[in-house]
Amino acid sequence: MLDLASLTDFLSQPRRIVITTHHKPDGDAMGSSLGLYNYLIQQGHHTHVITPTDYPDFLSWMPGNGEVIIYTANQELSARLVAEAEMVFCLDFNSLSRINELGEEVRKSSAYKVMIDHHLEPEDFDDYRHWDINACAAAQLVYTFITDQLNNKALINKDVATCLYTGIMTDSASFRLPNTTSAVHRIVADLIDAGANNSRIHELVYNSASENRLKFLGHCLANCLEILPEYNTAIISVNKADLQRFDVNTGDTEGIVNYALSIASVRLAAFVVERTDRVKLSLRSKGEFPANEICKKYFNGGGHRNAAGGHSDKSLDDTVAQLKLILPEYKKLLIQ
Ligand code: 5GP
Ligand code: MN
């Protein structure tokens, strides 16, 4: 275990540091990781961001992106860097299974492990923890880690601010979710003051779709959406052939589930997609409905109350059928 004083002392001289985040990184995963990266390099630390898998093009513009190492494409190098690291930062996840094979490398590394995260039920693998489930994004916690814990607000430069803004913007669904408190807005204001160009970041993330992605979205809404009125639930299910037909790339499916949730009566929305290796589910809910409970109990996953994910080794049709069978258990909550 490390206390804050020892951690601060440890970081007072250049160290070999690895930052990693969950597989199929989203805006918060990349924003928090590159935000911390841009902070640490200012202090002369030898820092590498290693992602377990690739990530979408709409996140591939942040400062430091060119230095990111993708584990699946660079396994030997990644394993060596983790083994040689003196400190590994684990951002936006709290269980080593969330980083696939990289998890074992981190587990066996002698480096100090620092967890900065906002998910429920952390696994006990870390030496230092900055964890708060009320935070709207891991990027918010990276901000408070730098400003409140390390007392280094002066090092929140334009690059750090740009990445952290992206993390908070994407994980709060553009400052919409209930955990976007006034404190979050104050942090966001600080990030803009520090140089984050909010309007441009919005453009880069949300207005960078390909023609295929838009046509795929149209297909999902017109042909793959099923509404279950008696459960106030909407399910979009997409098979492998659809993905091929629209040349769907990493990230192209992100956010589609929110269209199903935008229907006034819908309290639970699911996006179920047949990936090459398994079926992936993304659940979103309104209000108190615990989407994460369904993912944890039935689909090997987890997440937040209103945004959760999981997977299944069943076929697409069987997964959707299983989801429908679960709904009666939650009917009371769904029809409130
Ligand atoms: P998404 O639906 O965008 O993949 O994920 C929504 C939220 O659920 C994210 O906060 C993510 O961290 C969490 N999540 C997604 N998949 C999994 C999973 O397999 N396991 C756990 N524990 N959380 C997940
Ligand atoms: Mn997050």
Residue 179 Cα to ligand 1 midpoint, Å, equals: 17
Tokens of 178: 């209930």
235 ligand 1 Cβ < 6 A: no
- Candidate of 95, 280, 282 to mutate for ligand 1, largest count of ligand atoms within 8 Å of Cβ: 282
Reference 284, options 251, 254, 308; nearest CA is 308
- For ligand 1, atom 17, which residue shows the shortest CA distance? 309
> What's the burial of 135, exposed, middle or buried (CB within 10 Å: 0-12/13-18/19+)?
buried
Q: Which residue has 């959760």 as its token pair? A: 308
185, two tokens: 């807005």
* Rounded-to-5 percentages of helix, strand, coil across the chain: 45, 20, 35
Helices in 116-181 by DSSP H: which ranges? 138-144, 158-171
**Contact in structure between 223 and 203 (CB atoms under 8 Å):** no
Q: How far is residue 138's CA from residue 32's CA, in Å, rounded to a whole number?
A: 6
Query: What Rg, from alpha-carbon coordinates, does the chain have?
Result: 20
- Closest C-alpha to 170, from 162, 290, 193, 100: 162
Q: Which helix (H) or strand (E) holds 237?
A: strand 233-238
pLDDT at position 41 is 98
Q: What is the mean pLDDT of each run of 10 residues along the chain (336 residues)?
A: 97 98 97 99 98 97 98 98 98 97 97 97 97 98 98 98 98 93 98 98 95 96 98 98 94 94 98 96 96 98 94 98 98 94
Report the nearest-CA residue for atom 20 of ligand 1.
301
Query: Strand, helix or coil at 315?
Result: coil
User: Which residues make Cβ contacts (< 8 Å) with residue 254, sequence separation at least 6?
Assistant: 26, 56
Q: Using a cut of 0.85, tell me whether the model's pTM lies above it.
A: yes
What is the DSSP-derived secondary structure letter of residue 278? Answer: S
Burial class (CB in 10 A: 0-12, 13-18, 19+), 44: exposed
Which tokens in the block code for residue 43?
A: 């202090």
* Under 8 Å between Cβ of 308 and 301: yes
Residues in the chain: 336
The DSSP secondary-structure symbol of 191 reads: H
Q: What pLDDT is recorded for position 150?
A: 98
Name the residue with the closest Cα to ligand 1, atom 16. Answer: 309
Amino acid identity of 222?
A
In angstroms, rounded to a whole number, what is the distance separating the alpha carbons of residues 159 and 146?
Answer: 14
Q: Strand 225-228 vs strand 46-51: parallel, antiparallel, or unpaired? A: unpaired
* Substitution site in 21, 24, 33, 98 for ligand 1 pocket (most atoms within 8 Å of beta carbon): 98
Strands lying side by side in the sheet with 46-51: 69-70, 46-51, 16-21, 87-91, 112-117, 128-131
With a 6 A CB cut-off, is 273 part of the ligand 1 pocket?
Answer: no
Rounded to 5 degrees, what angle do the CA atoms 23, 130, 151 make? 120
CA-22 nearest atom, ligand 1: 12
Instruction: Report d(CA 132, CA 120) in Å as an integer.
Output: 9
Question: Can you list the alpha helix ranges (DSSP code H) found in 132-262?
Answer: 138-144, 158-171, 182-193, 198-206, 211-223, 240-245, 256-261
Cα–Cα nearest to 334, from 234, 253, 192: 234
Whether ligand 1 lies within 6 angstroms of the CB of 167 is answered as no
